[in-house]
Chain A
């Protein structure tokens, strides 16, 4: 659905992204992983249209991103950034409702349905009338997710593009997995979902994993191809081993320095 080709971004003399290729396909949950400073958020900003690459192109639905009108884009894709601060006492429900802004309030019925669906998907019904500034970090993340979902929700849940920057960083275990399950579920329905993730075991739930390191795409492919102890250990600079759990799951686990290895 959206493709970055040879995207390079520089700030001053520093290269943040170096000729990165990434394709976020419909029907697939793509996880973007990498160490701190690898360029994950920069790449997400390029895909969201916030930042023009110094060279390279971004194409959405076959059209170059800059040719999209802003409102058109807002109806096609939603973005959830890391912790959005808010100094004004909007309720959680009001924040979610802001997601319907691009629809212009022309179909109130549909707006209402969108809010209800988003509230259920992100599990924020209980937070609805609470002031946003009083919510915990994890609750805020869920509210922001609901806002993004409300923005691109349609009655048929037609495929859209969802760009999520660390949507699970402040979530508890249950909500982390619920969020990933939701993202995967939307992908099954034909959505294109990109999630920047830190937890590699969450990333393993994705259909496709892109591993960034120092602004360069170090590896891309299925989780089984990318998330190997060798690749991960090389990029993160820490020994990693794959362990099998009692229930038969396979888990990446870092080895503390000095431990057997």
Chain B
């Protein structure tokens, strides 16, 4: 046998997962300790051990903990979906919104906010507080279904066809959102605007418990697609020659990503940047191997959203900043910094 080959991957790429896991733990600690109410770390710990009293316990266990969990799961889901779809479309700049899920959810949210009053008047048993997330989730999935159906002929879904159909569906959804905005009154308009900026303020235990399985299931299943997705970056025909069931993988990747993004948007509103740039950041350091990019994106996405929400809760205390502003405000410059460092 000839001499051994050097390792094919990037030096140190494998260290990224433990490093990101540490960052996630740091962000979790940060989001449990930081907040508008001053709770010293020892009392945070006591509250977590079940020995907290009164307001400390409520703040740590009922407010910060579910928010941290919801934020982490949402950020991870968005980033994992972004990593998957970027690989699937062979485009490092693909956004989860490309398959229509965000605009479908936005349309459903606008319908609920603007016309929800009429709806609950007709059907009084509807719970308004739950109507918006459920509608947003359903709207996202319906829009993705439409995109997929348009791009599928004879059982073959075309990736470029999906991108084009996604653009069309996004345009239609945004036109209808525009119509609803036109119909809306001042308060509905404000509500919708805040929804599009994203917030974790609604994350209590019941909502977190409802959203968590929907966020976690795709996240646990998508890493299994990492190898076939790697092959598909060579091209769909090439992946097929390597024994990959291309159509099945494509369908699974789109459905699971849509589930993840739909659940994330339903839980928190629109949070930009995470799905687009987190996978990109991971790739800059670890290379494009989806076996690292998908779990790495989950860890970094969770960290970014948790950290951003900790800041959203404290920077303008006692008021809150929309967390979507902060993900972009933190992630954007950081991304630029990485890009310039790499360019050198």
Contacts and interface: CB of A to CB of B under 8 A. Distances in A.
Nearest to A120: B2
Given A81-B235, A95-B234, A88 B92 contact: yes
A101 B243 contact: yes
Contacts of B287: 89-91, 94
B5 interface: yes
A87 B91 contact: yes
B235 to A, nearest CB: 6
Interface residues on B, range: 20 to 34
Nearest to B237: A50
A60 interface: no
Nearest to A88: B288
Contacts of B241: 48, 50, 74, 78-79, 151
Contact of B5 (A45, A74, A98, A115): A115
A71 B6 CA distance: 28
Contacts of B244: 70, 101
Q: Is the interface of B mostly helix, strand, loop or mixed?
A: loop
Interface string A96-129: 1111011000000000110111011000010011
Interface string B229-248: 01101110110111111000
A72 to B, nearest CB: 8
A127 B288 CA distance: 17
Q: Is the interface of A mostly helix, strand, loop or mixed?
A: helix
Interface string A42-63: 0001001110000000000000
Interface string B312-336: 0000000000000000000000000
Contacts of B9: 91, 93-94
B121 interface: no
B5 A93 contact: yes
A259 interface: no
B1 A116 contact: yes
Contacts of B64: none
B145 interface: no
A101 B288 contact: no
A84 interface: yes
Nearest to B290: A88
Interface in B1-53: 1-10
A102 B231 CA distance: 10
B223 to A, nearest CB: 15
A110 to B, nearest CB: 11
Nearest to B245: A70
B238 A116 contact: no
Interface hub of B2, B7, B242 (most chain A Cβ within 10 A):
B242
Contacts of B230: 98, 101
A87 B237 contact: no
Contact of B233 (A48, A79, A90, A119): A90
A117 B1 CA distance: 8
A151 B242 contact: yes
A155 to B, nearest CB: 10
Contact of A128 (B2, B5, B91): B5
A129 B7 CA distance: 8
Nearest to B287: A89
Nearest to A115: B5
A101 B235 CA distance: 14
A115 B238 CA distance: 18
Nearest to A103: B243
A170 B338 CA distance: 35
Contacts of A101: 227-228, 230-231, 242-244
Interface string A124-144: 010011000000000000000
A72 B241 CA distance: 10
A98 B283 CA distance: 18
Interface string B172-199: 0000000000000000000000000000
List 8 tightest A-B contacts by C-beta distance, closest first. A93-B8, A74-B243, A88-B288, A71-B243, A102-B243, A79-B241, A94-B8, A101-B242
20 contacts: A45-B237, A70-B240, A70-B244, A70-B245, A72-B243, A74-B242, A79-B241, A84-B235, A85-B235, A88-B283, A89-B288, A90-B289, A93-B5, A93-B6, A94-B288, A102-B242, A115-B5, A116-B4, A116-B5, A128-B8
Interface of B: 1-10, 87, 90-92, 227-228, 230-231, 233-235, 237-238, 240-245, 283, 287-289
